[in-house]
Structure 1
């Protein structure tokens, strides 16, 4: 895999097709070559860690994910700060995307509206608004609103006159029984089998990233995840013969990513 960094980054783990970088995503995104990445998947902080509670496995647990998800981290203390935070990393991602490259960003109601506005402010064109419907969401303990059972994944491209994003339409149609695939995807939460090397509080299921990667890239393309967490994007990328760069500021999560990526050949995720 070509070295896309113009300045030295702190390598945590590296193979021929995968690279994990330890450090701040803002600083490391600045070090990447302009227009060098084919696709970006990002699962940024949702800022929903507010000391509340939810249900998990029949038990009441804290909704707090970690300091990285609290609205008082990274100088994020208000709605305006949240917007600045999102615009900042989204702008950096736009610079490193190839002209025909695309970005996928997942989120809940806590941040997805800010993300959508930030994409438009930074000159992207939103291609799709994917609704991921979870078949087994945790129940609503307060019983004062509907059960939260969906997340949104926005798919966007650079809003350039000659931009022509890749969409593997025929493959998506084939995977959908010969019919056009719709923008509502139904599936379960991440199974325990995919957490055998350690747990991440917002880990996405492998099938979700597999579909995203298959829909918008081809073999040999370079995929970047600036908030890679436990590495689901990297696992899916390796399985599908794509190159991968993941950035995270938590060494424990990168260790999980490393183990999962190394285990792909034996199908232990």
Structure 2
């Protein structure tokens, strides 16, 4: 990943095909070379930390994740959230290759803003994936339907010349020879995937496995600007890709490093 080292970015952790960067996502995205990334997966803050309650492992717990998921001024939440989304998506577009694609995960709390921000910043939406969870937390309030899905938007640059990669035959093969649909069903993250440390919004490995198998090939560079505990990086390595992860919490990058070290050990 020589093209990224030329910018003299201070790295938290680095191997031949991995770079973990600690710091502000906006500042670090500006330091990456333009059009140097093949695929981006992002799981940005949902802004759910509002002192409410939820259920986890049969216990009533706070919905608060951390300071990065909290908005101080509730009255300006909508405007601030959309401004935040447009800003990081704009920076991602700058580093994405002309034929690259971006995947963004979210709930109804932020996904509609993200969809609009993508179109406003010059992207075209390819697919709207519904991830249906087989074991969602129960609805404690009993005042609405149980929230059991998340949305994953897949998009490319809104350029008619853009030719993004879609491994259609591989997806069909993994779906018993049938075209894969845009509703994916599976469980929440397994405890075994959290043995190196926990992150409040960690995605299951099978989800990133499918995303990267659908849109990457060996040698691609995959970026996660909110990498959390590093599931994107684990699956990038398994698919023969290089990985760049950004996070502003050192504890999470330490978890990512431990997971990637284990993965590199098993691969090489």
Give the TM-score normalised by the residue count of structure 2: 0.96
Taking a change above 3 Å as real, the CA distance of residues 34 and 77 of structure 1, as seen in their structure-2 partners, is: same
2:34 corresponds in structure 1 to 34
Contact 2:227 2:245 in 1 (8 A): yes
* Structure 2 Cα separation of the partners of residues 155 and 76 of structure 1: 30
Gap runs ≥5 in structure 2 = none
Confirm whether residue 11 of structure 1 aligns to residue 11 of structure 2. Answer: yes
Cα deviation code 1:197-236 (max 9, x no counterpart): 1100000000100110010010010000000000000011
Determine helix, strand or coil for the equivalent of 1:71: coil
Contact 1:128 1:156 in 2 (8 A): yes
* Structure 1 Cα separation of the partners of residues 22 and 165 of structure 2: 30
Confirm whether residue 167 of structure 1 aligns to residue 166 of structure 2. Answer: yes
Give the TM-score normalised by the residue count of structure 1: 0.96
Determine helix, strand or coil for the equivalent of 1:3: helix
Confirm whether residue 125 of structure 1 aligns to residue 124 of structure 2. Answer: yes
Measured after TM superposition, the shift of residue 149 of structure 1 is: 0.3
Taking a change above 3 Å as real, the CA distance of residues 226 and 34 of structure 1, as seen in their structure-2 partners, is: same
Cα deviation code 1:221-268 (max 9, x no counterpart): 000000000000001111111100000000000000000001115669
Equivalenced residue count is 267
CA RMSD of aligned residues (A): 1.6
* Structure 1 Cα separation of the partners of residues 211 and 72 of structure 2: 31
Taking a change above 3 Å as real, the CA distance of residues 55 and 267 of structure 1, as seen in their structure-2 partners, is: farther
Determine helix, strand or coil for the equivalent of 2:163: coil
1:111 corresponds in structure 2 to 110
Moved more, 106-115 or 2-11: 2-11
* Structure 2 Cα separation of the partners of residues 224 and 19 of structure 1: 10
Taking a change above 3 Å as real, the CA distance of residues 100 and 259 of structure 1, as seen in their structure-2 partners, is: same
Taking a change above 3 Å as real, the CA distance of residues 76 and 70 of structure 1, as seen in their structure-2 partners, is: farther
* Structure 2 Cα separation of the partners of residues 245 and 217 of structure 1: 15
Measured after TM superposition, the shift of residue 5 of structure 1 is: 5.0
* Structure 2 Cα separation of the partners of residues 107 and 32 of structure 1: 25
2:246 corresponds in structure 1 to 247
